[in-house]
Amino acid sequence: MAKQLNRFEIRRQAEDTFEKVAREWHQVNEARWVEVHSNDVIRSLERDVFPKIGALPIAEIDAPTVFELLRGVEKRGTGETARRIRQRIAAVHTFAIASGRAENNPAALVVGAMAPMIKGRQPAITDLEEARQIIRDVDATPGHAVTKLAIRLLALTAVRPGVICSTPGMELPQGETLTANLGRTAFGAHGILRGSRDSGRLGAPELCEE
């Protein structure tokens, strides 16, 4: 009986590959993520993780294996991507531990060994005339009219491009101050977008249409 149980456990561990567990973890969590974030998570795993460790039993993956994978991503000059991938590998292992398919989290052990993030200076423009000149330069650059309007709207609302594109039901009355509900974040939170009077003159509902 003991030998049979041992063979069963070995076979079960071999079947619980990283990719199998990761896809299960993704399926469990995608209901609380917006579609864009959900797609980004699974694509990053399919691109950078599954080809390297997807076929390995998750219980047998160790810290050096994860570290080697992450170093490969860092060498492409994408340190921030490597850190997000590490977080996702760690989350998959946490899920595996909770469901009895792993006993340790190797991705949690490599944080201190990863290359440090070196952030360059990103000085903000505080002079109004300089900000206006940027808008004039954009207007003078050849490009699609919708793109130029979108850039102007971003300047007037001071939000990220993804916020504008994920904002549903934006109502921008002519000459009015913009107030609109923000689209959901990765975890479904909502907020309010406010802009100047000029932001109501840009025809924003067409800016993010496909």
In the chain, where does the domain assigned CATH 1.10.150.130 lie?
7-113
> What residues in the chain have per-residue pLDDT under 50?
2-5, 7-9, 169, 171-174, 181-187, 189-192, 200-210
How confident is the model at residue 140, as a pLDDT? 85
Which of 3.30.300.20, 3.40.50.300, 1.10.150.130, 3.40.50.620 is the CATH number of 7-113?
1.10.150.130
How confident is the model at residue 167, as a pLDDT? 58
Torsion sign over Cα 48, 54, 58, 64 = negative
How confident is the model at residue 45, as a pLDDT? 97
Mention every residue, 6+ apart, whose C-beta is less than 8 A from residue 205. 170, 172
Check if the beta carbon of residue 75 is closer than 8 Å to that of residue 98: no
pTM for this model (two decimals): 0.60
